[in-house]
Structure 1
Amino acid sequence: MNRRWRPSLGFVLGGALAGTLAMSFAGLIALRYLGPEIGFRNAAYLLGAAIIVLTAGLGWLLVRLLLRPIAALERYASDQVVGGLSGPVPPPAHFGTRELHRTARSVMDMAETLRDREATIRSYTDHVTHELKSPVAAIRAAVELIEDGGTLAPGDRRLLGEIDGARAQIEDRLAALRAAARARETRYLGQTVLADLVPALQQDHPDLVLRPIGGEGVLPMSAGGLRVVLGQLLRNAAESGAGQVTLRLERGREGVSLTVADDGRGISPGNAARIFEPFFTTRRDSGGTGMGLSIVRNILAAHRAEIVLLPAPSGAAFRLGFQSPA
């Protein structure tokens, strides 16, 4: 444990102010007595040089005790966000004052807790999907073997179809689970102008008419991430019978928001509270996994953003809220 002495923040700031005042008074006094002896111009030059040296020393102390530890903590936090999932990030070597030391320790503990939590989720997801892969493959092989074995009665063939359908559903759920875990880790850093993204979204969803409002605004996420997020919402809109989707971008005091509203069948009040739950779907018979909106929420959460379902007289409306950088 590092037991080096660390001054308090009040001591550092108070000492800097006191040192500045002391140099000013000492310079006036020295000029009064040195001026008649060596000349006021020479005394001013000498005192000016002395004050510059002392001020540089004071500035070096402030940089060492305040600026450098804060910059190191900022780099540590940034490295944890970008690269912490691939391995541990070295902590800052200097902490400066006692207050900065306590703050740095709290930030590092929080970062380690979040990294361990993400690693646990990733490890659990990988383990579950790996362990279930073998029995699912065995079920598929057994179904194929039985089908190739000869003529089956209609009832047996129907039962075999149900078994194979359940196997396909399990495979779809496992793929969705892996996608949800990856969504928690992937970072889409950057900025995107909505108007530049709409043509690509329109090409991906030709059956929908997209109406951007405030399209010249900038969203704090890369085009790749927004294409994943908005693509899922547009697919849901198309599957609910929508023909038109409005993308309204607004900027407020707390950040940027993007409202995605369609004219489809909408979401029933009974399902509204569960649409972001993993594996909840109303289209299970048609192959829905119930992970689309959960993945969208995970991606947005990794970028300090959120998605909420808005009340709408018709269709469905979602608001994507992006916080302004602190």
Structure 2
Amino acid sequence: PQPSYASISRGSGIRLFAAFPVKFEKRLWGVVYMSRTPNNILKHLYAFRDRAFLVALVVLAITLLIGWVTTRTLRGPIRALSQQAQGVAATKGGTLEPLAHYGTSELAALGQSFIDMADALEKRSTYIRDFATHVSHEFKTPLTSIRGSAELLSEHLEDMKPEERARFLGNIQKDTSRLKALVDRLLELAKSDNVVPLFDDTVDLIPALKHIAGSYSEVQVEGDQATARISEESLGMIASNLIENALGAGATKIILTIVETTKDCKIVFKDNGSGISPGNRAKIYDAFFTTKREAGGTGLGLGIVRSLVEAHGGEISLLETAEGAAFQVRLPSA
């Protein structure tokens, strides 16, 4: 039935009914039937307003406490990270030290990212600074020689003997050739440092290396048929640099051995040249390090090779060998 007028006055619009059977000796004698409309929710809350107010105060206090703790936990590390970043920007370099505490694992990961970024920037800055110093030195020597020879020729050209004139002109040509070789190598190095490998770049090693070896009578290729994730152009630069290095060391026989595993392809460049002394093994990848400067060496070849190999997800290593030198180039399999 519809609620009575009194129930509607409560503002509930509903009525609750309850029926209780009256039994005696397993016989139903009657039913107690009761009904009531529930109290209005607002009136009910008003009746318990003191408790409701207390609960609201407790909830507000807990919320404010949580907010204060969260702010204290996050604001300090974030401010410290911001100051460290501003310090790196102001000094244009430098490394960062880990904070005493980060508050959360997410801020710890962010802080470690800042440290790694600062270390990478510092290493890059040091590399560029040292590289610029080496480049200026390498260019200064032949330029000074060219300038000295040109000044002598201009001042004493008429009085100079033909053989002396030819010697100074030869010096100019030699130093000019060295400058050209340096420029060419620097362009190759810049290209290798900015290689963007494509995942669909693959090359069959046996035919590609045999094609390169065709230009050298001292080179032979052997081993397994394998396909590597690298462009043919990059593979050609790697192989040519390593072969030229071996020939520069007096090698008369260079063997390229290919071995394929489940994950990668390995190419071993083995020669019978003069090899690499133990004292120079740690410096062979340094820019402009060469033991054959008089023969036109630039000291950039192995740096170019390493940059190209690492850009394609591989690595290069110098192996122990009883004779000559042996470099192993590892590249991802296709």
TM range (shorter): 0.5 to 0.7
Unaligned runs of 5+ in 1: 1-98
The code of the aligned residue for 2:244 comes to: R
CA contact (8 A) 2:227 2:333 kept: no
Structure 1 residues 169, 108: CA separation in 2 closer, same or farther (over 3 Å shift)?
same
Matched-pair contact (CA < 8 Å) for 1:125–1:181 = no
Aligned twin of 1:249: 258
- Per-residue CA deviation, residues 191-213 of structure 1 (Å, 9 max, x unaligned), is 111122133212221x2141321
Tell me how far apart the structure 1 counterparts of residues 280 and 143 of structure 2 sit (CA, whole Å): 34
1:229: which partner in 2? 238
Mapped partners of 1:251, 1:108: distance in 2: 39
Match of 1:180 in 2: 189
Which of 191, 194, 198 pairs up with 2:205? Answer: 194
2:222 is aligned to: 212
Separation in 1, partners of 2:110, 2:229: 27
In our comparison, the structure showing a higher alpha carbon Rg is 2
Identity rate, percent: 23
Alignment of 1:45-194 (within 5 A): 140=146, 143-148=149-154, 149-152=157-160, 164=172, 169=178, 172-173=181-182, 175-189=184-198, 190-194=201-205
RMSD: 4.3
Decide whether the 8 Å contact of 1:212 with 1:246 is kept in 2.
yes
Q: What TM-score, normalized to structure 2?
A: 0.52
CA pair 175-247 structure 1, distance change in 2 beyond 3 A: closer
Q: Could you tell me how far 1:238 is from its partner in structure 2? A: 2.4
Q: 2:285 aligns with which of 273, 276, 282?
A: 276
Given that 1:198 and 1:212 are in contact with CA atoms closer than 8 Å, whether structure 2 keeps it comes out as no
1:223 to partner: Cα distance? 1.0
Task: Give, in whole Å, the separation in 1 of the partners of 2:309 and 2:144.
Answer: 37
Give aligned pairs, total: 226
Q: How far apart, CA to CA, are the structure 1 residues paired with 2:138 and 2:227?
A: 43
Higher strand share: 2
Cα displacement string for residues 10-47 of structure 1 (whole angstroms, at most 9, x for unaligned residues) = xxxxxxxxxxxxxxxxxxxxxxxxxxxxxxxxxxxxxx
More helix by share: 1
Distance 1:131 1:296, change over 3 A: closer
Shift of 1:116: 11
Q: Could you tell me which residue of structure 1 aligns to residue 274 of structure 2? A: 265
Instruction: Kindly provide the amino acid, as one letter, of the partner of residue 203 in structure 2.
Output: T
Question: In 2, Cα distance between the equivalents of 1:138 and 1:311?
Answer: 40
Quick check: 2:272–2:323 contact (8 Å CA) kept in 1?
A: yes
Q: CA deviation at 1:250?
A: 2.2
Runs of 4+ in 1 over 6 A off after TM superposition: 102-139, 156-159
CA contact (8 A) 1:281 1:289 kept: yes
Alpha-carbon deviations, 1:231-252, whole Å to 9, x = none?
Answer: 1111222233333332222233
Structure 1 residue 109 displacement after superposition: 11
Structure 2 residue matching 1:236: 3-state secondary structure? helix
Comparing 299-308 with 106-115, greater Cα deviation is found at 106-115
TM-score normalised by L of structure 1: 0.53
Contact 1:250 1:257 in 2 (8 A): yes
